[in-house]
Amino acid sequence: MTPEATNLAKFVKDLKAEFALSQNQLAKRLKVSRSTISVWESGHCFPDRENIQKLAALKGWRSEDLQYFINTGLEPAKDPLEEVLTTVRSLPAESLFRVVQEVMQTLALRSMPVEAVARAATQAEQALALASER
């Protein structure tokens, strides 16, 4: 088996384990046959571009990230800002308010122009109002 095939097989096996999925369950999620999952997992065949995108999306990756993993066996570097935003998006409204307060204090400490801080505060208040309406 080529290194790329080994990396793909590892990715599929790890994906199944991470989400506690059988080949059949993963196949249903991706809208492919169980035998398709089997040949990917055994390294006998590679997914087409559409299925690379689907596999990557299940992991929260871009298709380029999965291609990188297949080629190198290394997980792509995580964007620290995206990790923070993912965490912020998962917070309840009360916690978001505290995050906004901290951001405002940080901006003020960094000597941001008063107008910029005020504009950011207004935008944050509007976002919180929208979030609380949901």
Give the pLDDT confidence score for residue 6 in this predicted structure: 94
Calculate mean pLDDT across residues 79-100: 80
Domain that holds residue 11: 3-72
Q: pLDDT per residue over 105-122, tens digit each?
A: 887 777 767 677 677 777
What percent of the chain is modeled with pLDDT above 90? Answer: 50
Q: Are 108 and 117 in contact (CB under 8 A)?
A: yes
Number of domains forming the structure of the chain? 2
CATH of the domain at 28: 1.10.260.40
Burial 94-131 (b: 16+ CB within 10 A, else e): eebbeebeeebeeeeeeeeeeeebeeeeeebeeeeeee
Are 57 and 12 found together in one domain? yes
**101 or 66: whose pLDDT is higher?**
66
Its pTM stands at 0.59
Residues whose CB falls within 8 Å of the CB of residue 68, separated by 6 or more in sequence, listed in order: 74, 76
Are 126 and 93 found together in one domain? yes
Are 61 and 91 found together in one domain? no
Q: Are 55 and 30 in contact (CB under 8 A)?
A: yes
